[in-house]
Structure 1
Amino acid sequence: MKKFSVTIAGGGSTYTPGIVMLLLNNLDKFPLRQLKLYDNDKERQSIVADACEIIVKEMAPEVNFTATTDPEEGFSDIDFVMAHIRVGKYAMREKDEKIPLKYNVVGQETCGPGGIAYGMRSITGVLEILDYMEKYSPEAWMLNYSNPAAIVAEATRRLRPNSKILNICDMPIGIESRMAKAIGLESRKEMDVRYYGLNHFGWWTDIRDKEGNDLKPRIIEYVKEHGYDVGQHSDTSWQHTFQVAKDVQALDSETLPNTYLKYYLYGNQEVAHSDKNHTRANMVMEGREKNIFSECNRIVEAGTSEGTTIKAGDHASYIVDLARAIAYNRHERMLLIVENKGAINNFDETAMVEVPCLVGANGYEPLTQGNIPQFQKGLMEQQAAVEKLVVEAYIEKSYQKLWQALTVSKTVPNAEVAKQILDELMEANKEFWPELH
């Protein structure tokens, strides 16, 4: 059986140790000969990499492990790039969240002004990694789950239309796991779903078991009362997110919503619930980042991963499924962010939509979702316009296009506030954005 070579781009991420564990736990399904970490921040990556090296040696000594900041070393002789980069790290995420909140606008890393700012940073980083891959391993596939996925996907459509990149998001997978638990199923893989939308902006329209029985009415009944809260351990902000899904679902009683729609449909509530001085970025830096880095340091000091608290990143298990679908031509059904091209009949052909696709060795084949209702169509057209304007602003270095993008966003009340937020974000992102004129 062929063994694969994988590079994790964003090697210094707090999620990397969990993804390494996940890959090692799945060697029977997806065998590896080589695993590389790549990051442009050597110091941050080394914290993670030194621990991962010990984990790999103990769990799979036959797998060659390296960590590098050199693009040629990082991207030569590989089959897959698993990319989850964060340009500007959590320090910039904090600004993405806090600057809009000053104006009583949703402060969130992928939605609204924060997502736009992050998108303007991410485009350069994702294109850079894609170009490295195609230069040094032109047959490889890039499995990209770097946020904000919608803007990144639109940028790769425009700027690298022939690249072997698949854009994917873990949020629907996480929600489907909660749906399955809510009705007593062991796994989301016991369900076949129909879904349409944009990334972080979509709806489930049909959910069935493998015998074709309709599960959606039972899930809707649960969500009407509890949202997607199924009692799984999660911090306070996520508990609120899963509970408020019932309010979003009430707007269209026939479908089940992606949780991120709350930022667009109940933005006033989000702002009211937010601490403008202590946002989600602060919670992550004080929680997951601190915990993961201290555990990595503990492993290195002990010289063993025995007793580690690092768990396989189940939220990222779909990345292994995606790699296997390509490697073994499995024609597996998965949600991807792809150019519409008729997947949704009555929607912009060039919009990057999130729909079920069959994935195999030659890429993906979208499954048509037919016509969508006016409510969703109107919301999606507005949000797709934001994403397209952001990418146009990036390409043209256009201040005006970015101002328009912020103004069109449903999270921003008017053009005046859009301009005030933009000017602050521009100042904060001088190091990362193209110079706008």
Structure 2
Amino acid sequence: MNKQAQIIAIAGGGSTYTAGIVKALLMKGEDFPVAEIRLYDIDKARQDKVAILVDYVVKTHAPQVKLIVTTEPEVAFSQADFVFAQIRVGQYKMRESDEKIPLRHGCVGQETCGAGGLAYGMRTIFPMIALIDFMERYAKATCWMLNYSNPAAIVADAVNRLRPNARVLNICDMPVAIQRNLANILGVNRYALDVEYFGLNHYGWFTSVKVDGEEKIPQLREHIQKFGMLTEKEVENACHSEPSWIKTFSNTQPLMQMFPEYIPNTYLQYYLMADEIVAHSNPDRTRANEVMENREKKMFDMIEQIRLSDGKVEDKFHVGVHGEFIADVAMSMAYDLRQKWLVIIPNNGLIKGLPDDAMVEVPALLGRDKVYPIQVGNVSHFYQGMLQQQLMSEKCLVDAALEGSYEKALQAFTLNKTIPSASVARQILDEMIEANKGYWPELK
């Protein structure tokens, strides 16, 4: 069967992830033919640099693919089949602020969880709506936006309220990264795993992990309780290039020892081990600094090497699950494959006890024009309580953004499990309002 070649627009073309996404797309070859790739970003200078690396990837793997680099929405989105959204409003400078302000008050400093995630969400809601409007104005009527932009739970809730009929599917690569680690522990390819999962984005649990129909949760539970979500070799060698990720996957060990029923999303460490996370955090050097000093610097070094025609750079970056996952999702939808992936969609009774308009992360079969979710059913009191508290914190944050309400923002920060009291919530909120001038809607 001849497959129609796709036109892919990448919003947030200046991201450090862009080249990996493009490489993942092109490596699918005839299984997912691509006619054009369009990079779109409001930061022309940064995107032009990243485009040097992307152009290298395209010429190396699929020189027939047309690459367009633009700051014009009409050029980027006209007749597009997919828009991949990965915007970071405020870039790493504001991420650093999101992480360091809470830490000054003894609270978790993380880009998508806790106060940092609430701040990031407030910045991202309206730029995401603008992107959706560009897509609906210029792209094909059948175009899907696959959204990676964080914090996905807050963004998804706002989009569901403001553009409920838009063809937007919110996704996250963290569950896929966890599946990669679980597959490594089991000694299989991650595509061999058949998983069941429930929760909110960055706030969920794997209830089943099967290989060839055989349940592997008992084996994984035993391993994680001893070594965390790492292989024994990784524990011995600490071989991950970024120590913070070793710590993240190691922290599943105490989580699993305390709550052994299901396998947790790694982000639950920020909510269930907040005191330990803060105690081991450096308020002067957070994950934002680590990314800028490592992944981002490495990317710009590669770009400079290409610009100087100084040999090949292919061996210096790889396609991770971030790029693979969004390419897999797009392929399933483009050709109505109805493959099973974890996605963020309206609850509508999938998880009993949660509102229908809760944006939940669950397995679904992905087709061309429809997402077919898989029912979760009842969850026990502990998980229900956790989900309700986090959900209402996020919903209050969206209320605050849409209504311009200081009180609703304070409610969101107060409800968040990483913040110990309303007085601390108010101190953090007030400091974040100052830091986010020009990004947040005015709160009264």
**TM-based fold match above 0.5:** yes
In the TM superposition, residue 75 of structure 1 has moved relative to its aligned partner by: 0.7
State the distance in 1 between where 2:311 and 2:290 align. Answer: 29
Structure 2 residue aligned with 1:113 = 115
Asked if residue 221 in structure 1 is aligned to residue 222 in structure 2, the reply is yes
Find the residue that maps to 1:357 and give its secondary structure.
Answer: strand
Partner-residue secondary structure (3-state), 2:215: coil
Q: Deviations over 1:276-331 (max 9, x none)?
A: 01111011111111110121121122187565513223332111111111111111
The residue correspondences of 1:114-263 to structure 2 (distance < 5 A) are 114-137=116-139, 138-185=141-188, 187-210=189-212, 212-230=213-231, 231=234, 233-263=240-270
Give the deviation of 1:123 after TM superposition. Answer: 0.8
CA distance in 2 between counterparts of 1:163 and 1:274 reads 40
C-alpha separation between the residues in 2 aligned to 1:171 and 1:270?
A: 19
Unmatched runs of 5 consecutive residues or more in structure 2: none
Aligned 8 A contact 2:21 2:322 in 1:
no
Q: 1:129 to 1:61 in 2, by over 3 A?
A: same
Shift of 1:427: 0.4
Greater CA drift, 248-257 or 41-50 = 248-257
Matches of 2:195 and 2:322, distance apart in 1:
18
Q: Is the 8 A contact 1:144 1:167 kept in 2?
A: yes
1:223·1:245 contact (CA, 8 Å) conserved in 2?
yes
User: Pick from 332, 340, 345: which aligns with 1:333?
Assistant: 340
User: RMSD of the alignment, in Å?
Assistant: 1.2
Q: Which runs of 4+ in 1 moved over 3 A?
A: 303-308
Alignment partner, residue 372 of structure 1: 379
Answer whether contact 1:96 1:113 (CA < 8 A) is retained: yes
Contact 2:100 2:284 in 1 (8 A): yes
Distance apart, 1:406 and its partner CA: 0.1
Gaps of 5+ in 1: none
In structure 1, the residue matched to 2:66 is 64
Cα 1:282/1:36, change in 2 over 3 Å: same
> Residues 393 and 6 from structure 1, CA distance in 2 versus in 1: closer, same or farther, beyond 3 angstroms?
same
Counterpart position of 2:24 = 22
Whether the 8 Å CA contact 1:99–1:425 is kept in 2: the answer is: yes
Asked whether the 8 Å contact 1:55–1:305 carries over to 2, the reply is: no
Check if 1:13 corresponds to 2:15.
yes
Residue aligning to 1:357: 364
Q: Distance in 1 between matches of 2:421 and 2:370?
A: 41
CA distance in 2, matches of 1:184, 1:283: 30
Q: What is the identity percentage for the equivalent residue pairs of Structure 1 and Structure 2?
A: 47
Alignment correspondent of 1:416: 423
2:107 counterpart SS class: coil
Structure 2: distance between partners of 1:247 and 1:17: 36
2:345 partner SS: strand
On the 8 A contact 1:386/1:408 being kept in 2, the answer is: yes
**Residue 77 of structure 1: CA displacement?**
1.8
Indicate the SS of the match to 1:250: helix
Q: Distance in 1 between matches of 2:68 and 2:369?
A: 29
Question: Aligned partners of 2:320, 2:7: CA distance in 1, in Å?
Answer: 19
Instruction: Quote the residue 1:430 is aligned against.
Output: 437
> Given that residues 295 and 308 in structure 1 are in contact (C-alpha distance below 8 angstroms), is that contact kept between their aligned partners in structure 2?
no
Flag the 1:196–1:73 CA change in 2: closer, same or farther, 3 A. Answer: same
The answer as to whether partners of 1:15 and 1:313 remain within 8 angstroms in 2 is: no
SS of aligned partner of 1:253: coil
Indicate conservation of the 8 Å contact 2:177/2:321, yes or no.
Answer: no
Instruction: Report the AA paired with residue 243 of structure 1.
Output: S
Q: Which residue of 2 aligns with 1:39?
A: 41
Aligned residues between the structures: 435
Map of 1:262-341 to 2, 5 A cutoff?
A: 262-302=269-309, 305=312, 307=314, 309-341=316-348
